[in-house]
Structure 1
Amino acid sequence: MPAGTFVAVMGATSSGKSTLMQCAAGLDRPADRRHRPTGGTGRPAAPADRRHRPTGGTGRPARRNITWMGERALTRLRRDRAGFVFRVLAVPRYLNAGPNLRVHTGAPGDDAGMTTLAQRPAAVLVAVSRPWFWPVSWVPAYLGTVIAGHAWLPDPADTGRAVVALLVLGPLIWGAVLAQNDLHDLPSDRVNPRKATAPLVTGAVSAPRLRLWHRALVLASIGAAWYVGPLFVVGVAGVLALGWAYSVPPLRLKGRSGWDVAVNAVVVGAVSPAAGWAITREPWEFPWQLALIGVLFAAALYVPTTVIDVSADAGAGDETFSVKYGARTAYRIGLCLWGLALAVSLFCASRDSLVPRETLIPQLVMAPVLFAAYAALTRRPSIARLAVVSLLFGIPTAGFAMAYVG
Structure 2
Amino acid sequence: MTNQTFNRLINNEIFTRLTWLRFIGFEFWMVGFTPFFIGYVVSAKELYSFDLFFGFLIIAILTSSTFILNHICDIELDKKNPRKEFSLLVRGTISLKTSWILFWILQLSCIILSFRFNLEFLYCILGLTVISFVYNMEPFRFKSRPGLDLLSNGLSLGLLIPLAAWSIDQPLIEFPKLFFLSTICYLLALYCPTMAIDVEFDKSFGVETFATKFGAEFTMKLSWFFTICGVFILLLSGYLEIYPWNFDLLIWTGWLLIIEIFVHYIYLPISPNPTYNMVAKGSIILATFEAVATLIFLIIFLS
**TM range, smaller chain:** 0.7 to 0.9
In the alignment, the residues of structure 2 paired with residue 366 and residue 163 of structure 1 have an alpha-carbon distance, to the nearest angstrom, of 28
In the alignment, the residues of structure 2 paired with residue 177 and residue 153 of structure 1 have an alpha-carbon distance, to the nearest angstrom, of 26
Deviation for aligned residue 1:162: 3.3
Deviation per CA, 1:144-193, whole angstroms, max 9, x where unpaired?
11111222124xxxx2x4333221101x1012111111111123323334
Partner of 2:74, secondary structure, is helix
**Corresponding residue number in structure 2 for 1:163:** 53
**Corresponding residue number in structure 2 for 1:369:** 259
**Corresponding residue number in structure 1 for 2:284:** 387
In the alignment, the residues of structure 2 paired with residue 316 and residue 233 of structure 1 have an alpha-carbon distance, to the nearest angstrom, of 38
Deviation for aligned residue 1:127: 4.2
Partner of 1:227, secondary structure, is coil
Partner of 2:242, secondary structure, is coil
2:47 equivalent to 1:152: yes
**Corresponding residue number in structure 2 for 1:275:** 164
What is the letter of the counterpart of residue 226 of structure 1? F
Match among 208, 217, 231 for residue 328 of structure 1: 217
Deviation for aligned residue 1:312: 2.8
Q: Is the 8 A contact 1:173 1:217 kept in 2?
A: yes
In the alignment, the residues of structure 2 paired with residue 311 and residue 203 of structure 1 have an alpha-carbon distance, to the nearest angstrom, of 26
Q: Is the 8 A contact 2:188 2:226 kept in 1?
A: yes
What is the letter of the counterpart of residue 39 of structure 2? G
2:209 equivalent to 1:344: no
Deviation for aligned residue 1:236: 0.9
Q: Is the 8 A contact 1:270 1:290 kept in 2?
A: no
**Corresponding residue number in structure 2 for 1:360:** 250
Deviation for aligned residue 1:363: 4.0
Q: Provide the alpha-carbon RMSD of the alignment.
A: 2.0
In the alignment, the residues of structure 2 paired with residue 370 and residue 291 of structure 1 have an alpha-carbon distance, to the nearest angstrom, of 17
Report which structure shows greater RCO (CA 8 Å, sep ≥6): 2
Q: Is the 8 A contact 2:127 2:160 kept in 1?
A: no
Q: Is the 8 A contact 1:141 1:276 kept in 2?
A: yes
2:140 equivalent to 1:251: yes
Query: Structure 1 residues 364, 229: CA separation in 2 closer, same or farther (over 3 Å shift)?
Result: closer
Question: Within 5 A, what are the aligned runs for 1:4-19?
Answer: none
**Corresponding residue number in structure 2 for 1:403:** 300
User: In proportion to residue count, which structure has more helix?
Assistant: 2
2:32 equivalent to 1:143: no
Partner of 1:223, secondary structure, is helix
Q: Is the 8 A contact 2:231 2:258 kept in 1?
A: no
Deviation per CA, 1:273-292, whole angstroms, max 9, x where unpaired?
11221222223321112221
Q: Is the 8 A contact 1:268 1:298 kept in 2?
A: yes
Deviation per CA, 1:212-254, whole angstroms, max 9, x where unpaired?
1112222111111111222211111111110110010111000
Deviation per CA, 1:258-310, whole angstroms, max 9, x where unpaired?
11111112211111211221222223321112221111111111111101222
In the alignment, the residues of structure 2 paired with residue 302 and residue 91 of structure 1 have an alpha-carbon distance, to the nearest angstrom, of 21
Match among 73, 86, 93 for residue 204 of structure 1: 93
Q: Is the 8 A contact 1:127 1:199 kept in 2?
A: no
In the alignment, the residues of structure 2 paired with residue 385 and residue 340 of structure 1 have an alpha-carbon distance, to the nearest angstrom, of 19
Partner of 1:201, secondary structure, is helix
Question: Within 5 A, what are the aligned runs for 1:7-406?
Answer: 94-95=15-16, 124=20, 126-154=21-49, 159=50, 161-170=51-60, 172-354=61-243, 355-379=245-269, 380=274, 381-406=278-303
In the alignment, the residues of structure 2 paired with residue 331 and residue 238 of structure 1 have an alpha-carbon distance, to the nearest angstrom, of 29
TM superposition score normalised by structure 1: 0.66
What is the letter of the counterpart of residue 237 of structure 1? L
TM superposition score normalised by structure 2: 0.87
Deviation per CA, 1:308-335, whole angstroms, max 9, x where unpaired?
2223322332211111110111111111
The percent of aligned pairs where both chains have the same amino acid is: 21
Query: Structure 1 residues 162, 281: CA separation in 2 closer, same or farther (over 3 Å shift)?
Result: same
Partner of 2:67, secondary structure, is helix
Unpaired stretches in structure 2, ≥5 consecutive residues = 1-10
In the alignment, the residues of structure 2 paired with residue 359 and residue 191 of structure 1 have an alpha-carbon distance, to the nearest angstrom, of 49
Deviation per CA, 1:118-164, whole angstroms, max 9, x where unpaired?
8xxxx84x44322111111112111111111222124xxxx2x4333
Q: Is the 8 A contact 2:25 2:64 kept in 1?
A: yes
In the alignment, the residues of structure 1 paired with residue 27 and residue 300 of structure 2 have an alpha-carbon distance, to the nearest angstrom, of 28
